[in-house]
Amino acid sequence: MRFTRLSAYLRAGVSFVQADLRATNTGPESPDGFYKQTDRTEDILGNVGFGLVYFVYRSNRAKLGLQLEGEGFYGHRSQDSREDLDTVDPSRIVNARIDNDLYGGLGRSTVRFEYALGRRGVFKLTADAGMEVKYTRIQYSDFGIGTRDELLWGPYAKIGLKYSF
């Protein structure tokens, strides 16, 4: 549906996210000693999505539109966590390893700006701003707590470079 005010698209992808967290007690030492925590989390997710954008303004190079997007995802999260308290016997401290599956969906409502580069305009600078709602179900494997739900919502912004062929 190119070259009209209305544009629709489908997409699929894979993402890998790795996060490291280190926290340390920065205040004066408590009677129990200094507290330290380290976490390493890795997510591998696959997703499929769709989008619909209606351009309310179009010129030779610039477009401004209203956009709706939806996406479903499934993946795996692993997390290694270690908490240390200096005065506790170090031989009693063990790492906790959490492995779980997660799946869900998200929806976005945004305003989209595109600016075409070059003579043919196949490269475009893009910017999106709006709201996102994300629902995730997490199946915990080892702790007997089953499946938990998570609903997040808030502002959304993205800038990028797009290639259309």
Residue pLDDT, tens place only, 95-135: 788 888 999 999 999 999 999 998 888 999 999 999 999 99
Q: What pLDDT does residue 29 have?
A: 64
- What is the spatial distance between Cα 41 and Cα 99, in angstroms, rounded to a whole number? 10
Residue range 58-82, pLDDT digits in tens: 999 999 999 999 999 999 999 898 8
- Would residue 141 be called left, alpha or beta, if left means φ above 0 and alpha means ψ between -120 and 50 degrees? alpha
pLDDT band at 142 (very low <50, low <70, confident <90, very high): low
Q: What percent of the chain has pLDDT over 70?
A: 84
Residue 1 is assigned to a structural domain of this protein: no
Contact 72, 47 (CB under 8 A): yes
pLDDT band at 138 (very low <50, low <70, confident <90, very high): confident
Q: Is this prediction's pTM over 0.85? A: no
Owning domain of residue 11: 6-23+31-163
Residue range 2-51, pLDDT digits in tens: 568 999 999 999 999 999 998 887 766 666 667 788 899 999 999 999 99
Q: What pLDDT does residue 52 have?
A: 96
- What is the spatial distance between Cα 130 and Cα 95, in angstroms, rounded to a whole number? 40
Number of domains the chain contains: 1
Residue 116 is assigned to a structural domain of this protein: yes
Residue 102 is assigned to a structural domain of this protein: yes
pLDDT band at 151 (very low <50, low <70, confident <90, very high): very high
